[in-house]
């Protein structure tokens, strides 16, 4: 039977291995990790991370974004058309805000 210390040590080694793989820790062993610390752009995402994403949640968020765009358009297009402006003005502003928020989330 493994002791609690051995299990924690193995868990720590596994975590360190993951961080090395992602390039978040530099061990001085490979140029891949060194490139990541110097701002390289060739970071690979392990396949198992894509499998573990919550796809229904992502689909729900995208559906809510699309529904929100339709609601914004339907609430504002008649007044904007009456005043001679682009009926998609507020939709474009919302998409711009969504893009800026997405960029902030990524970086």
d(CA 13, CA 19): 10
Overall domain count for the chain: 2
Residues 60 and 101 in one domain: yes
Domain of 4? 1-52
Residues 48 and 58 in one domain: no
Residues 21 and 58 in one domain: no
Residues 58 and 104 in one domain: yes
Residue 80 near residue 89 (C-beta atoms within 8 A): yes
The pTM is what? 0.54
d(CA 87, CA 72): 10
Q: In this predicted model, what pLDDT tens digit does every residue of 7-55 receive, in sequence order?
A: 665 665 666 566 556 555 455 544 445 445 455 556 677 888 888 889 9
Model pLDDT, residue 39: 54
Residues 39 and 82 in one domain: no
Angle between helices 55-82 and 89-106 (to 10 degrees): 150
Residues 17 and 31 in one domain: yes
Residues 81 and 48 in one domain: no
């Amino acid at each position: 039977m493994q002791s609690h210390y051995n299990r924690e040590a193995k868990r720590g080694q596994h975590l360190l291995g993951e961080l090395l793989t992602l390039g978040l820790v530099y061990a001085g062993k490979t140029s891949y990790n060194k490139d990541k610390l110097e701002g390289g752009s060739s970071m690979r995402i392990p396949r198992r991370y894509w499998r573990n994403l919550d796809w229904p949640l992502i689909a729900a968020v995208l559906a809510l974004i699309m529904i929100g765009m339709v609601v914004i358009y339907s609430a504002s297009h008649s007044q904007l058309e009456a005043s001679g402006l682009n009926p998609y003005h507020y939709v474009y502003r919302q998409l711009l805000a969504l893009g800026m928020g997405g960029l902030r989330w990524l970086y």
